[in-house]
Chains A and B, each alone.
Chain A
Amino acid sequence: MKYLKILLLLSLLILIIAPISSCGGGGGGGQITIHGRIVNESSTPLAKGNYSIQGSGVIGDITADGRFAAASGEPAGRLILTNSTSGFRFRRVPFDTAGEGTLDLGDVTLPNDSLSKGWGAYRDGNLTAAESYFAAHISASGRDIKDAKNGLGWTLAKLGRQEEAFQPLLDALGSGFDPEIRTALAMAYFQRTAKDVYSIPQAISNVDLAVNADGFYLSKPLHDDISEDDLIAFRAMLNLLDNRTAAAAADRNTVLGRTNPRLNRASEDLLQVVDFFLSH
């Protein structure tokens, strides 16, 4: 009977402790909370609308008065705020807290300007319009010039004009969007393969930089769904093309060795080709 009481007490203790520990979150890396308020061009809070908030490991919400609070398990990354109620309003805010704590972004303007329109057109696949909007934004020397150059670079690369894409992409480096810029540069260098045999090592080096960047993340609403695993699969192909079969095999094994590799359809096909050449 005595032992039964002890057992019951222990069970009760476990029931109390378990929820606390399971809600405790990630642990390990520092957790930060980013907050601020979303406003329009005239500093009026954008209280209503179809908001979304995303980012590097970001979980958050936007309240009725436009205030947002987002928790991120990443020490650095990008917070992506969109509002698509009346025209596509969009802003990506890079953050770097260098540790735990709270980051107050204050008022974050989501103007319905050419940058927002550019990313909106890009998202909708209207690349010609996107190019015009981004170019207009850069000419007007508006806010977030580097993001506009980033957008212009991606747009030009997608249009197959990779030679023109290099400069805006290189200009956009250091803007807080480096992993995705490196991804676009890698693709542009790979495309350049058609003209310059020395571009593959540069493509590989840019994939390295993208993969190794802290909190790799491509803003999903804008770009195709590209994960870190996709990039490593792509690097496997690049290594194969560069006759570095051991590195290609290592990349292939890295991806396929993961329990649930996050690969898009293109990467699955690509790995199949890599595997074929490695095994033949």
Chain B
Amino acid sequence: MKKLLPLILTFLFLLLLPSSIFGGNIPSSNGYFAGAGLIQNETIVALADDISFGKAVGQGSFAGAKIINSYAPMHLLRLDYPYRSAASDTPFRRACLQSSGQISPNFMRYAHLTPDDPRFGSQTYLKPIKAPEAWDLFRGDASVTVALIDTGIDIDHPDLQANIIGGTNLRPGEDSNDYNDPHGHGTAVAGIIGATTNNSEGIAGICWNVRLLIIRVLGGEDLTTTLFEEAAAIDYAIAHGARVINMSFGGPGTSSAEQKAIEKAKQAGVIMVASAGNNGVYGDLQTAPEGLNYPAAYPDVIGVGALKSDLYKADFSNYGVDQCEFVTVGVSVYTTLPRGIGDISGPILIGREYGWATGTSFAAPQVTALTALLIMKEPWLTAGQIKDRLKANAGGLGGPDADGDGVDDYFGYGLIKCDYTLADSPVGNNGAIKAGVFPSPVFPERVYVYVQTLKKIDSGSLAIIGLPESGPALTAEVRSLETGDYIGSLIWPATLGQLRIEIKASNGGVEYPRLLATYKP
């Protein structure tokens, strides 16, 4: 046993070694740190108080590295030297330590854009889908009409009325012009998608700007409709220019009338999103068709299931990828509600103008909103491309993918990610900065970034940074065009892989939200 003791101790030592030595604070060489904002080619050195700072700055370099900037009160030097090298034992490090210099990395810091809507803090479901991060990229520009086939909308709701473009009531025997919401369901769905945002009122819509077309078909005590009205509603939405239709309802069974309307919408390039349903059952076209909920289960309709706030599946949510391709939080979704109609029994807790709602009905609109944002940002995308983009950027839930098809029975393609979905594009617009990345048609390795800012930068800065999948970030050469816009260029060999571009600008003391774009050589 005594002979074994040194071996055991050595083994334990080796077990501890990775966390104490290799774990450390040294950035890994993968792209994560580039994405997290480490400025790869820079190192900050804080000189000791007894070192002559003026003399050091006057030499233009320190320990062989060029001084980019200096700040005398704190004896700080910003050096053109890769921190990755500075962190290991190098002549540079030794020279710094001889001068009692304290070495640290330089990281980017970003403006955190938060809308000023006072109830935004209650919208916890926006965090998992990365909606606030997505607003750094794009917030919507009201170029897309979203049709809500539902119970109508509170047409005078202070947080909704600005985005309502009109609507109709297709319920038999009712006034076709009355699409006001006597129930609450439609108003709750509408707020998630398109409550007016940053208006110092209520909540934030996922689309800050959008055109809401209201089609009232659901009603009665159980909030029902029939396929007949549903088909007519889809047709109405197509005829009135909708690019996305939200259908937070469903039921078993298919019909040719419904299929015909869906096919017509598909032909018109309209994306349809529907809730998976609240029966908690599994459905599969081949093995469990009795558990399927339509229209979510139609192949041309995107079906959405619900998660709880802890990102586990909500018990009530139907599942199976044929009807549940994506998931979002659908429990206690804080949104707009109709004013002054009192309590309604059921999943919606009416509370004056705002309150909580639960069900897959309120998961689907989150996907609808992201789809609308994507179409606004990149109107040329086809329905197939939009779905592919959603799929490619969703995920993060479920266990190991046993069959490797990227699809989980409970979560489908997973939780949508608004920021990744919108940033997976060579163009972007966050209201303050608009940018597009494009290659030279002649010289394959040269990539340009065209940038328009809200107004010409007269006292501030603009930086265009190329973040490769791995390796150091590159800074583009940026020049001002006569038109007041900017262009940057980078040499980007295809071997560097996908290029993420980060654009940062400030003007007159105001830091703009950063903009991200992605270019795939």
Contact = CB atoms under 8 A, between A and B. Distances in A.
Contact of A195 (B379, B452, B479): B479
Given A273-B427, A273-B450, A226 B441 contact: yes
Contact of B477 (A184, A194, A280): A194
Given A160-B491, A266-B444, A237 B438 contact: yes
Contact of B434 (A160, A234, A267, A277): A277
A68 B434 CA distance: 55
A169 interface: no
Given A272-B426, A280-B141, A194 B487 contact: yes
Given A224-B442, A269-B438, A279-B143, A200 B426 contact: no
B519 A193 contact: no
Contact of A241 (B143, B379, B450, B519): B450
Interface in B131-176: 141, 143
A233 interface: yes
B401 interface: no
A193 B487 contact: yes
Interface of A: 157-158, 160, 183-184, 187, 191, 193-195, 197-198, 200, 223-224, 226, 230-231, 233-234, 237, 240-243, 264-267, 269-270, 272-277, 279-280
A151 to B, nearest CB: 14
B426 to A, nearest CB: 6
Nearest to A273: B436
A200 B443 contact: no
Among B438, B440, B446, the one with the most A-chain Cβ atoms within 10 Å of its Cβ is B438
Contact of B436 (A234, A267, A277): A277
Contacts of B443: 157-158, 187
A184 B440 CA distance: 12
Given A160-B491, A266-B438, A266-B441, A273 B426 contact: yes
Nearest to B443: A158
Contacts of B50: none
Contact of A266 (B379, B439, B477, B491): B439
Nearest to A196: B479
A81 to B, nearest CB: 24
Query: Which of B426, B436, B450, B452 has the most A CB atoms < 10 Å from its CB?
Result: B436
27 contacts: A187-B442, A187-B443, A193-B479, A194-B489, A195-B479, A197-B479, A197-B480, A197-B481, A224-B442, A237-B450, A240-B450, A241-B487, A265-B439, A266-B440, A269-B519, A272-B426, A272-B436, A272-B438, A273-B427, A274-B436, A275-B379, A275-B380, A276-B378, A276-B429, A277-B427, A277-B436, A280-B143
Q: How large is the interface on B (under 10, 10 to 19, 20 to 34, 35 or more residues)?
A: 20 to 34
Given A197-B481, A273-B438, A277-B427, 4 more contacts: A183-B442, A242-B483, A266-B440, A277-B450
B485 interface: yes
Interface centre among A187, A274, A277 (most CB of B within 10 A): A277
A272 B487 contact: no
B483 to A, nearest CB: 4
Contacts of B480: 197
A241 B449 CA distance: 11
B476 to A, nearest CB: 10
Q: Which of B380, B482, B483 counts the most A-chain CB atoms under 10 A from its CB?
A: B482
Contacts of A234: 441
Contacts of A198: 482
B427 A241 contact: no
Nearest to A234: B441
10 smallest beta-carbon distances between A and B, as pairs = A273-B436, A197-B482, A276-B427, A243-B483, A266-B439, A270-B438, A266-B441, A194-B479, A273-B438, A234-B441
Given A264-B441, A280-B141, A241 B429 contact: no
B429 A280 contact: yes
B426 A269 contact: yes
Contact of A272 (B380, B444, B452): B380
B137 to A, nearest CB: 13
B181 to A, nearest CB: 32
Contacts of B482: 197-198, 200, 242
A152 to B, nearest CB: 16
B144 to A, nearest CB: 11
A191 B477 CA distance: 11
A12 B480 CA distance: 71
B441 A270 contact: yes
Contacts of B377: 276
A164 to B, nearest CB: 15
A277 B452 contact: yes
A62 B436 CA distance: 47
Contact of A230 (B378, B380, B434, B441): B441
Most buried by B among A193, A200, A276: A276
Contacts of B357: none
A158 B483 CA distance: 27
B195 interface: no
